[in-house]
């Protein structure tokens, strides 16, 4: 699978169809894989958090979730063929799971939200087997009673696909610390996708989300929580990409 390197992070040049095929192939082969994503926020985190960057670079597939990453790659002479964000395609994953009899377990978001997201997916895909859900508001400290109970619940269900939605970088940290003890074939990080699927949080209109303005829509909907991520983080990411571009030309 072809890859590029952006700010020290390896990104796979993979389409959504290929990502879904990889998930199915790994499950059918009884192999394990971590599928995760990067957006501008994740790229900025990777600069400051070496463990986070290492987690991404050790994952089986890192796909592009944001237009900013796609445009940043283009400034460095790379072409990412497709950007896709989990809220847009978890329905496709559910269809695949229902057709192939794969099972899902959803963990993350506020109490009750993952369960509502599961119901939404099952309404879309009759026959989909969701073998468990759990909120993300538990003590994720390794060895804590809460953490052990969640892992026990997941392992008792033996899901083919574990969908984790704690947001960056909490979901990655939790997987890094617990993946070896979890009985699941595929781990997929999805950020705030459960909030959107359940209807708890509004998304921007499609003309914004499909044309590189989802960040602005999210900022307008949740300004107090997200202003720093976008108003500071986006220009910082652009500066870092341009700096990498200049350093490459200088060293050429």
Q: Within a domain: residue 94?
A: no
Which residue(s) pair with 36 in the sheet?
62
Q: What is the pLDDT of residues 50-64, one digit of tens each?
A: 999 999 999 999 999
Tell me the pLDDT band of 211, cut-offs 50, 70 and 90: low
Q: What is the pLDDT of residues 97-133, one digit of tens each?
A: 999 999 999 999 999 999 999 999 999 999 999 999 9
Q: Report the percent of the chain where pLDDT is more than 90.
A: 78
Q: Within a domain: residue 252?
A: no
Residue 233 in this model has a pLDDT that exceeds 70: yes
Domain housing 220: 1-84+209-247
Same domain, 38 and 11: yes
Same domain, 164 and 237: no
Can you tell me the distance from the alpha carbon of 247 to that of 251, in angstroms, rounded to the nearest whole number? 6
Same domain, 193 and 223: no
> What number of helices (H) and strands (E) belong to the chain?
13, 8
* pLDDT value of position 250: 76
Determine if residue 79 is left, alpha or beta; phi over 0 gives left, psi from -120 to 50 gives alpha, anything else beta.
beta
Same domain, 112 and 175: yes
CA 111 to each of CA 205, 232, 244: distance values in angstroms, whole numbers, following the listed order: 27, 31, 42
Q: How far apart are the first and last CA of the chain?
A: 26
Q: Within a domain: residue 159?
A: yes
Residue ending a domain, among 202, 218, 233, is: 202
Same domain, 163 and 228: no
Is 53 in contact with 8 (CB distance < 8 Å)?
A: yes
Q: What is the pLDDT of residues 164-192, one digit of tens each?
A: 999 999 999 999 999 999 999 999 999 99
**Cα 109 from chain centre:** 13
Same domain, 216 and 194: no
Q: What is the pLDDT of residues 67-103, one digit of tens each?
A: 899 999 999 999 998 899 999 999 999 999 999 999 9
Number of domains in the chain: 2
Q: Within a domain: residue 92?
A: no
Q: Within a domain: residue 96?
A: no
Same domain, 158 and 223: no
Same domain, 132 and 221: no
* pLDDT value of position 207: 61
Q: Within a domain: residue 95?
A: no
Residue 230 in this model has a pLDDT that exceeds 80: no
Q: Within a domain: residue 225?
A: yes
Q: Within a domain: residue 91?
A: no
Same domain, 239 and 197: no
Same domain, 133 and 157: yes
Same domain, 196 and 109: yes
Full-model pTM: 0.92
């Amino acid at each position: 699978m072809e890859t590029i390197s952006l700010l020290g992070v390896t990104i796979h040049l993979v389409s959504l169809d290929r990502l879904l095929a990889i998930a199915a192939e790994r499950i059918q082969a009884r192999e394990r894989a971590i599928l995760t994503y990067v957006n501008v926020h994740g790229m900025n985190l990777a600069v400051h958090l070496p463990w986070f960057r290492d987690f991404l670079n050790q994952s089986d597939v890192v796909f592009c979730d944001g237009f900013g990453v796609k445009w940043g790659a283009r400034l460095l002479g790379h072409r990412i063929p497709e950007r896709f964000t989990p809220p847009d395609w978890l329905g496709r994953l559910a269809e695949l799971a229902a057709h192939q009899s794969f099972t899902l377990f959803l963990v993350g978001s506020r109490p009750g939200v993952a369960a509502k997201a599961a119901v939404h997916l099952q309404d879309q895909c009759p026959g989909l087997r969701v073998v468990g859900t759990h909120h993300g508001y538990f003590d994720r400290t390794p060895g804590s009673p809460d953490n052990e109970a969640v892992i026990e619940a997941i392992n008792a269900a033996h899901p083919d696909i574990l969908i984790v939605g704690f947001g960056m970088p909490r979901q990655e940290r939790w997987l890094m610390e617990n993946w070896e003890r979890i009985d699941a074939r595929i781990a997929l990080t999805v950020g705030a996708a459960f909030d959107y699927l359940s209807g708890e949080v509004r998304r921007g209109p499609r003309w914004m989300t499909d044309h590189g303005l989802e960040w602005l829509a999210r900022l307008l909907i949740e300004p107090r929580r997200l202003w720093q991520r976008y108003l500071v983080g986006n220009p910082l990411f652009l500066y870092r990409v341009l700096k990498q571009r200049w350093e490459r030309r200088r060293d050429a």
